[in-house]
């Protein structure tokens, strides 16, 4: 079993929809979780990071972590065509910031 599992999609939604992206993980040692957005042929850019179970909100984005079920989610409200990208979840531990990534979910928001 891979340490971080993520459904690769693709996921296609209409503009304005609420998008739910999900990952599961198996490594109990993960201390923090990140969501990255990656446009085609570009490096990932950090969207959200969380250290504990619960929700964290930033604008249209909400990150949710449930450590009891080892489940992490990213919700995008009022999705826009510019949100079309691959979304990567990652788990990390230690201060050296070594991350383990999921495969990424390709999202397309249709105008």
Partner 1 sequence: GAVVSQHPSWVICKSGTSVKIECRSLDFQATTMFWYRQFPKQSLMLMATSNEGSKATYEQGVEKDKFLINHASLTLSTLTVTSAHPEDSSFYICSATTGRTMNTEAFFGQGTRLTVV
Distance between CA 74 and CA 27 in Å, rounded? 19
The answer to the question of residue 91 lying near partner 1 (CB under 8 A) is: no
User: Residues in the chain, how many?
Assistant: 111
Nearest approach, Cβ of residue 42 and partner 1 (Å): 6
Pick between residue 76 and residue 88 the one whose CB is nearest to partner 1. 88
List the one residue from 48, 104, 107, 109 that touches partner 1 (CB under 8 A): 104
List the one residue from 15, 18, 42, 58 that touches partner 1 (CB under 8 A): 42
């Amino acid at each position: 079993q891979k340490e971080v599992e993520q459904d690769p999609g693709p996921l296609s939604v209409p503009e304005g929809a609420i998008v739910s992206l999900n990952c599961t993980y198996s490594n109990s040692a993960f201390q923090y979780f990140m969501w990255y957005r990656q446009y085609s042929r570009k490096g990932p850019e950090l969207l959200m990071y969380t250290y504990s179970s619960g929700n964290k909100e930033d604008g249209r984005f909400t990150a949710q972590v449930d450590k009891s079920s080892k489940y992490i989610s990213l919700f995008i409200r009022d999705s826009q065509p510019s949100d079309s990208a691959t979304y990567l979840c990652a788990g990390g531990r230690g201060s050296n910031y070594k991350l383990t990534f999921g495969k990424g979910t390709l999202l397309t928001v249709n105008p």
